[in-house]
Amino acid sequence: MRVNVNAQHCVGAGQCVLIAPEVFDQSDEGTVMVLVETLDDSALTVAREAVIACPSRSISLTEN
Amino acid sequence: METQSGDPISIEFPRRRRGQLSPPDEYASLREQPGPVRSALPGGSTVWLVARHDDVRAVLTDPRISASPLHEGFPTIGRNGTVPPPDQIPGWFVAYDPPEHTRFRKALIPEFTVRRVAELRPAVQRVVDACIDDMLNAGTTADLVSAFALPVPSLIICELLGVPRTDRELFESRTRVLVTLTSTDDERESATQDLLLYISKLITMKQRFPGRDLTSRLLSAGVLTPKEISGVALLLLIAGHETTANNIALGVVMLLLNRQWIGTPGVVEEVLRYLSVADRVALRVAVEDVEIGGQVIKAGEGIVPLGAAANHDHATFERADEFDPSRSARHHVAFGYGVHQCLGQNLVRIEMEAVFTSLFRRIPTLQLDSAVEDLPFKHDGILFGLHALPVRW
């Protein structure tokens, strides 16, 4: 699975970073950055939580 | 309770939490209704109460639903349930919609990233330690609200914004007036003017003598105007101390009643979820017809998403009425949802972590000095909380 983000949409809440710090980070502007685009099983689990927690719905998961 | 096809339910709103820390009893039956529930507020206006977790999140993310009190039909709770009317204060961005809101959000999020907030840990710990030192030096009893729950977030937001500590009493007391539903219009007006005057003096001072604080950085960045920065500073000042003080005070009570969870992970998140002190703060109004939970809400109709109801939704959280820090509570809406989700939430988490760890470690014999039912809960406030918390050790 791949993780996709919409940094324009991002409101900088940082919940993705707290939930899945191995997958997400924040740029200096405060918006989301993806650290690993292709996810293994453990990363996928936390990435799914991040999708749900994201307040601006800026994260999505797609098949490779 | 009436069904959807009947007249608006006349329920007294807001509902009280009857001396207990969990949400009002009536929220469970609100969640059982097919969708949002029409409710008559005292004073005659009607609003839609939204109680289910999914529906609350839908309300807070739908672009046809506005956070602006300038739209017709925006709810008012109590006499005048909101803090200063937004048209008085440029920069009061909690009341703006995109794209105006976006500009403020983008200007501020660099200051509140996970990384930046983590850098504040030492300063937070210093404030927590100093407040505990003072409590211990003063004896073996205290009012934990005035001695700890209020000063901790207040002193931290002072440091962050560059507000002199000596000015704490001024903004705390005026904020108290604004968040109390029973304040008169005159009291509210006077408190607002005092705060606006204070903030404009702060801005002038920072323009002349920039410091290493957020206010000075915003001024020198020049993205927001000084007038807008005064509104932002006021919002952060109020939001930065009042809500957190309530979470700290009530969180301490929760842990004193559930001592087995002290020092365990997940406590902060579960305290936030369980208490939902900002239950009814995120007022909204539809600006176009929109369907929420199968119910059409028409343009011009007010909406009250109930965060505490959503956070106790059994469809989302197993055994939702249980205080269980071992659960995964990540998708609670205690900080709201959508573009307005609390800007300072990660700072709040750091504050609460430091508070719950240090307080019980340094005062292991801490206990309530009052029965829970006798505690002075803030039934007369926009936010749930405690006016005082007698403790001893």
* Tens-digit pLDDT profile for residues B182-221: 888 889 889 988 998 999 999 999 999 999 999 999 999 9
Closest C-alpha among B366, B374, B347, B359 to residue B154: B347
pLDDT for res B188: 87
What domain range includes position B346?
26-392
Residue at B310 is within a domain:
yes
- The alpha carbons of chain A give a radius of gyration, in whole angstroms, of 10
Residue at B10 is within a domain:
no
The H or E element that residue B368 is part of is strand B367-368
Residue at B113 is within a domain:
yes
Instruction: Look over chain B and give the mean of its residue pLDDT values, rounded to a whole number.
Output: 91
Cα–Cα distances (Å) from B383 to B77, B176, B255, B292, B308, in that order, read 12, 11, 20, 25, 11
Q: Which of A18, A49, A55 sits opposite B341 (nearest CB)?
A: A55
Residue at B16 is within a domain:
no
pLDDT for res B2: 42
Residue at B13 is within a domain:
no
Contact A55 B345 (CB under 8 A): no
Contact A55 B338 (CB under 8 A): yes
Task: Give yes or no for residue B157 having a pLDDT over 70.
Answer: yes
Query: 3-class DSSP state for residue A17?
Result: helix
Residue at B334 is within a domain:
yes
Please, what is the angle between helix B214-221 and helix B185-208, to 10°? Answer: 70
CATH of domain A2-62: 3.30.70.20
Helices (H) and strands (E) in chain A, counts: 2, 4
> What is the count of structural domains for chain B?
1
Instruction: Given the cut 0.85, state whether the ipTM is greater than it.
Output: yes
Task: Give yes or no for residue B44 having a pLDDT over 90.
Answer: no
Mean pLDDT value of segment B21-32: 90
pLDDT digits (tens, 9 = 90+) for B119-152: 999 999 999 999 999 999 999 999 999 999 999 9
CA angle at residue B343 from B339 to B153, to 5 degrees? 155
Q: Are B230 and B90 in contact (CB under 8 A)?
A: yes
CA–CA separation, B128 and B275 (whole Å): 22
Residue at B258 is within a domain:
yes
Contact B109 A49 (CB under 8 A): no
Q: Supply the CATH number for residue B130's domain.
A: 1.10.630.10
Contact B106 A18 (CB under 8 A): no
The H or E element that residue B50 is part of is strand B46-50
pLDDT for res B1: 46
Q: Which of A12, A28, A52 sits opposite B105 (nearest CB)?
A: A12
